[in-house]
Structure 1
Amino acid sequence: MTKNYSIEYHDEDTKLIIGNSVKILKNVPNETFDLIIADPPYFLSNNGFSNSGGKRVSVNKGDWDKNDNPEAFYTEFLIQANRVLKNNGTLWIFGTMHNIYLLGYLLQKNNWKILNNITWQKTNPAPNLSRRMFTHSTETILWVKKQEGRQKFNYDNLRELNDGKQMKDVWMTSTTSSLEKKFGKHPTQKPLALLKRIILASTSENDLILDPFLGSGTTAVAAKLLKRKLVGIDIESEYMTIAKARITNISQAYEGKIT
């Protein structure tokens, strides 16, 4: 078998791997992970324009965000994710209006059950340059389990964090702060507070987490801070370098506010 990956970083709790996640997962044993957190490419790199810091910028992020058949890509990933996830484990998967409906359809088609539809509301979204539609200020995170699984949910811990009230399915943060990007920038980096909440909600200490689209490593930082184990995979060595720097400088991690 030809080796199709390289290990960028490895300590007793964290392994960071450069390579194609779907191909790598095909060689992972069944029921390996307690939790999967996936922020797959949205495939929005279509030569259009967006807004960044009040400036008109290209939406093109790189070849990793281009695909002529997103349905086939997502389907192959979801099949492998279902296989390597433990029976009572769960998957959290990010999306926007551009891909979340396709993902929701494919999840239900491929032996997953949707538990929650989390709305991440950004308190400072970029304005809409076209002035022809409402400003996009949210992303969706689907929390799902296997059809016959029984999910872990740390209800009491989350209620305590929420001033004794049940936590709702709308979470508010700012967009990712520049303080979280001191080691380098990723175009779709998520706030640390968001990933910490996901991990706190659905794992225990020493559980094993998979992030198959690691990007700049926010899931790895959150897992390390919360004493979970993690395998992170990304196809871009540039972003893996950022993730490694964030892990090796964990004491400098910045966490913004989440409500």
Structure 2
Amino acid sequence: MNLHTFKSCLRNPVYEDQDILIYQGDSLLLMNKLPAECLPLTVTSPPYNIGKEYESILSLEDYIQWTAKWINQVYHCTSSDGAFWLNLGYLSIPKTAKAIPIPYLIWDKVPFYLIQEIVWNYGAGVAGKLFFSPRNEKFLWYVKDPQKYVFNLDDIRDPNVKYPNQKKNGKLKCNVNGKNPTDVWQIPKVTSGQNRSSQERTPHPAQFPIELITRVILASSHPGDIIFDPFFGSGSTAVAAIKTGRKVIGIEINPDYVNIAVERVKRIRYEQENQVKQGIIGKLQQFPLL
């Protein structure tokens, strides 16, 4: 399917260009309009039900039911060789747990096949006094068919090899392009604050670093594929998709965050246009017209 076909299903987006459709609305309602097996990759981070400014608190039972509903709809829309990358954090349960990983609560509600849990280890965070300081979140990597899915290891290899020239029987022991980055990813989070704010920081309170989403997209999709994010937030998925030659469809219920995402996309497009213009000017300077 192409973006035009998706637009005919979802109607008028808030923003569109040749590679992007951004919608403002309820993701579950909009996903119900999509046909079966139309999405090669979904990567997202939904609300954790912990009282952030962008979410309405539900009872634990209602939150789990809601989570199961939208995940099942993603499954319905995922292509036979497609993947689903899900980031979920922790929540508290009175008299039971201070911080229980949400995947523990939905493990039997997800119809996908779980390939692996990826640990995202970041540097900054809350300092604990009566508990260890939290420094990680999890990504769950699901696929529709465990015998047929995309994994582009060579596109995400870590070039930082400790002994790159080490040989065995006269042959290099490691891949010349780098090593497998393993299931623990050490990527700094997007920080805030007057003196330590990340360059890519937006007003969104839970923003993904572009490097993190880029690795997911490179690993589990091909250039030209459509990447779907039903909880679009500040649009980090769009930025990563554009920079890796993919297309993207995003849904976000909060109009303020939609505006942030649209402005980020417009900024990327502006930068790309300037690069093209500078390239043309550079060629004209190198080969002036006679």
Query: The TM-score by the shorter chain falls in which range?
Result: 0.7 to 0.9
For 1:167, the equivalent position in structure 2 comes to 181
> Residues of 2 paired with 1:225 and 1:74: CA distance?
30
Which residue does the alignment assign to 2:140?
Answer: 142
| Distance in structure 2 (CA, Å) of the matches to 1:4 and 1:225 | 25
Q: Which has the larger radius of gyration?
A: 2
Q: CA deviation at 1:174?
A: 1.8
The answer on whether the counterparts of 2:10 and 2:33 sit within 8 Å (CA) in structure 1 is no
Aligned residue number for residue 204 of structure 1? 222
Q: CA deviation at 1:249?
A: 0.4
- TM (norm. structure 2) is 0.74
Q: CA deviation at 1:247?
A: 0.4
Alignment coverage as a number of residue pairs: 232
**Aligned CA-pair RMSD:** 2.3
State the distance in 1 between where 2:147 and 2:70 align.
Answer: 19
Equivalent residue number for residue 74 of structure 2? 81
The residue that corresponds to 2:25 in the other structure is 19
Normalised by the size of structure 1, how large is the TM-score? 0.82
Structure 2's unaligned 5+ residue stretches are 1-8, 92-98, 162-177, 192-197, 273-290
Which amino acid counterpart does residue 19 of structure 2 have in structure 1?
A: D
* Greater shift in the superposed pair: 186-195 or 109-118: 109-118
SS of residue matched to 2:14: strand
Q: Secondary structure at the match of 1:125?
A: coil
The match for 1:8 is 14
Identity in percent: 29
Structure 2 residue 58 is the aligned partner of structure 1 residue 67: yes
Tell me which residue corresponds to 1:112.
112
Change beyond 3 A, Cα 1:124–1:206 = same
Offset of 1:116 from its aligned partner? 1.2
Is the contact made by 1:214 and 1:233 (CA closer than 8 Å) also made in structure 2? yes
Aligned-partner Cα distance in 2 for 1:225–1:100: 35
- Secondary structure of 1:189's partner? coil
Report if aligned partners of 1:217, 1:243 keep a CA contact under 8 Å in 2.
yes
Q: Does 1:32 align with 2:38?
A: yes
Tell me the residue number matched to 2:48: 42
CA contact (8 A) 2:89 2:102 kept: no
- The change in CA–CA distance for 1:168 and 1:100 in structure 2 (over 3 A counts) is farther
| Gap change, CA 1:230 and 1:149, over 3 Å in 2 | farther
User: How far apart, CA to CA, are the structure 2 residues paired with 1:66 and 1:227?
Assistant: 37
CA distance in 2, matches of 1:213, 1:41: 8
Aligned: 1:221 with 2:239: yes
CA deviation profile, 1:114-137 (whole Å, cap 9, x unmatched):
111110111122323xx1111111
Q: Which residue of 1 aligns with 2:121?
A: 121
Contact kept? 1:223, 1:229, Cα under 8 Å: yes
**Alpha-carbon offset, residue 252 of structure 1:** 6.2
Which amino acid in 2 is paired with 1:175?
Answer: K
Of residues 155, 177, 180, the one that matches 2:200 is: 180
Give 2:85's match in structure 1, choosing from 81, 92, 96: 92
Query: Deviations for 1:197-236, whole angstroms, at most 9, x for unmatched residues?
Result: 1101111100011000000000010001111010000000
Tell me, yes or no, if the aligned pair for 2:46 and 2:87 is still in contact at 8 Å.
yes
**Distance of 1:149 and 1:71 partners within structure 2:** 29
Q: Cα distance 1:81–1:133, how it changes in 2: closer, same or farther (>3 A)?
A: same
Q: Which residue of 2 aligns with 1:51?
A: none
Indicate the larger mover: 93-102 or 119-128: 93-102
**Offset at residue 162 of structure 1 (A):** 5.5
Q: Does 1:193 align with 2:191?
A: no
* CA pair 4-28 structure 1, distance change in 2 beyond 3 A: closer
Distance (Å, rounded) in 1 between the aligned partners of 2:147 and 2:27:
24
Write the distance in 2 (CA, Å) between the matches of 1:112 and 1:206.
Answer: 24
Instruction: Give the C-alpha shift of residue 4 in structure 1.
Output: 9.2
Distance 1:145 1:105 in 2: 19
Deviation of 1:156 after TM superposition, in Å, equals 2.0
